[in-house]
Every structure is written in structure tokens, then in C-alpha cells.
Amino acid sequence: MAVNVSELKRGDILEIDGDPWQVGEVQAQTPSARGAAMLIKTKIKNLRTGQSQAKTWRGGDLEKGAEVDYRNAQFLYKQGDDFVFMDLASYEQFTLDADRVGDAAGFMLENLEVRTTLFQERVIALVLPIAVDLLVTDTAPAIKGATAQAQLKPAITETGAQVMVPSYIETGEKIRVDTRDGRFLERSK
């Protein structure tokens, strides 16, 4: 299916040279010269290799949209450097290596439900919930009288992720973390 590049938006997936590329930033630029075509400047990321690049098209150009499928899956367990998931529709298990999981590895708790993006029947991307609750397994002791505006300190979570937390957070507490940027949100309730 052809996609008009003038209508591209963040998150769209295009097929370029047989690979799936996800659109990041999109910027339309109208040159000042008369009769010049509008330019669509984008930052795109190859979902197979992880490579990113800037790409510019003329307004009105057509590009092939990638035929992707989305399925819900559940993270089951980690085996060595591999992550084992189960497709929630077919109940089939599949494995992704640490490179494919990427930064999401720091948020992978057993039974976590994720959304997978498939291209040519292969999982090319994981979409995590916006926030996850993680147990703090190691951090410096709490500072008496610390407030929410106090300095941040590093904390290690049960998944091995390092999160900067307020100084009143102690080892053994559960915290809510934003999976998009790894930022501390709040204490878990």
C-alpha cells in the first residue's frame, strides 16, 4: 500500500529496500523559492538493524507502507541472554535475543504483557506498558527529612535496571518507572 509522505506521522512504519523503518520526527518545510516543492524531513529507524538516519522526501512523493501485524504477548522468563515470550492469541512461545529486546530488558518482569510488532512473520519491535512497578533491590540509605524535591540517587531494581530515585526511597520499596525513558514516577501503591 502506498503512503503519501505528506501525511506521515510519528510511529508510522514504511518498507524501504525490503526493511521496516519507523518514522520518528516529521517536519514539513516549504522553500521560499516560487514553485519549489514542499520538503518532508524525517528521522527514521530501521526496526530490523536498529540503524537510524535522516531522510527527506518531496511533498506528494509516495512510499510503500510496511505490512505489519500487532499481537499481544506475555513475557515468561529469561534464559541466558534470551527472553521467552508467549503469543496470547495462539499460545505459541517464541524467543528474542537481548539485542532485539534492547533497553526494554530493564523492565521485563515475568508475566508482563507487551505488544509485539511483526513484519514478515518476525517480531521486530516490542511495545511496553507506559509504566511498570519494580522492586528496589539496592540503593543508598534514606536521608532523614528528605523531601520530593531532594537530590536523586541511583537505585538498582529487581530487573537490573538503574533508576534515579529521590533520596527518601529505600531498598525493598516498590517504585513505578516510566518505560519510555526509565524515569522514576512515584512509589507504587
68-127 CATH, one of 2.40.50.140, 3.90.1150.10, 1.10.287.110, 3.40.80.10: 2.40.50.140
- Domain boundaries of the chain, sorted by first residue: 2-64, 68-127, 131-187
- Tens digits of residue pLDDT in 30-58: 877 666 778 889 999 888 888 889 999 88
Residues 128-154, mean pLDDT to the nearest whole number: 81
- Confidence grade of residue 3 (pLDDT, cut at 50, 70, 90): confident
Please check whether the domain covering 2-64 is classified as CATH 2.170.130.10. Answer: no
The yes-or-no answer to whether 2-64 and 68-127 have a common fold is: no
Q: Count the residues in the chain.
A: 189
- According to the model, what pLDDT value does residue 129 have? 93
Please report the pLDDT score of residue 30 as a whole number.
Answer: 82
Q: What is the pLDDT of residue 180?
A: 87
- Alpha carbon distance 137, 161 (integer Å): 10
Q: Are the beta carbons of 20 and 32 closer than 8 angstroms?
A: no
Band of pLDDT at residue 144, cut at 50, 70 and 90: low
Q: What is the pTM of this model?
A: 0.74
Indicate the pLDDT class of residue 167, thresholds 50, 70 and 90. Answer: confident
pLDDT at 116: 92
Task: Report pLDDT digits (tens) over 77-131.
Answer: 999 999 999 999 999 999 998 888 888 899 999 999 999 988 888 888 888 999 9
On whether the CB atoms of residues 108 and 101 are closer than 8 A, the answer is yes
CA distance 66 to 3: 10
Instruction: Please report, rounded to a whole number, the percentage of residues in the chain having pLDDT higher than 70.
Output: 94
For the chain, how far is it from start to end, CA to CA, in angstroms? 46
CATH topology of domain 131-187: OB fold (Dihydrolipoamide Acetyltransferase, E2P) (2.40.50)
Q: Where are the beta strands (DSSP E) in the chain?
A: 2-4, 13-16, 19-29, 39-46, 52-58, 62-64, 68-79, 82-87, 93-97, 113-119, 122-127, 131-139, 152-157, 162-166, 174-178, 183-187
pLDDT at 92: 92
